[in-house]
Amino acid sequence: MATQRLIWRDEYLIGVEELDWEHQDLFDRLNELHEFLAESDDPEAIENCLGEIHARVASHFALEEQYMRANKFAYYAIHKEEHDDFLEVIVELAQSILHDPDPERRDNLEFQLQAWVINHIITSDKDLATVG
Ligand SMILES: [Fe+2]
Ligand SMILES: [Fe+2]
């Protein structure tokens, strides 16, 4: 099964402007990864690209967590745990790609990142609109 670019939809908006902007930026970064994986199987280059995504995601999570703390969000701990787990998943995926960058693994990596981001936005992040 071939991977596909992500398409932003208004239903992903959570109603917090700066976080919505960053979510759209995250879609752009994942689409860059999509283009990149389509043309390169150089494991180190892929790992670098994932490193940039990791940094971008980490800074997004930091902003979101700051927003939650500022608004005394009741589910802060569980939400932060989801963030921390995902950052670890990105590191593990980057390591496994470095060992074996075959096409199936590259597709699987992309699916996992896309699915997590969309699922997290439409469930956990949506709840953030209820505070503030
Ligand atoms: Fe989040
Ligand atoms: Fe988010």
For 54-85, how does the pLDDT look when each residue is reduced to its tens digit (9 = 90+)?
999 999 999 999 999 999 999 999 999 999 99
Centroid of ligand 2 to alpha carbon of 121 (angstroms): 6
pTM (2 decimals)?
Answer: 0.93
The pLDDT score that the predictor gives to residue 111 is 94
Cα 40 from Cα 83, distance rounded (Å): 28
Q: Are 17 and 129 in contact (CB under 8 A)?
A: no
Any idea which ligand is nearest the CA of 26?
A: 2
Cα 1 from Cα 27, distance rounded (Å): 20
pLDDT-derived band of residue 4, with 50, 70 and 90 as boundaries?
very high
Q: Does 101 fall in a domain? A: yes
Q: Does 125 fall in a domain? A: yes
Q: What is the CATH number of the domain that holds 41?
A: 1.20.120.50
Average pLDDT for the chain: 93
Q: Does 77 fall in a domain? A: yes
Q: Are 42 and 102 in contact (CB under 8 A)?
A: no
Work out how many domains the chain is built from and give that number: 1
Q: Does 6 fall in a domain? A: no
Any idea which ligand is nearest the CA of 79?
A: 1
Q: Does 3 fall in a domain? A: no
Centroid of ligand 1 to alpha carbon of 8 (angstroms): 17
Cα 121 from Cα 56, distance rounded (Å): 16
Q: Does 32 fall in a domain? A: yes
Any idea which ligand is nearest the CA of 127?
A: 1
* Structure tokens given for 92: 């593990």
* Structure tokens given for 51: 């490193």
Q: Does 107 fall in a domain? A: yes
pLDDT digits (tens, 9 = 90+) for 25-62: 999 999 999 998 888 888 888 888 999 999 999 999 99
Centroid of ligand 1 to alpha carbon of 131 (angstroms): 14
* Residues with Cβ–ion distance below 5 A, ligand 1: 64, 125
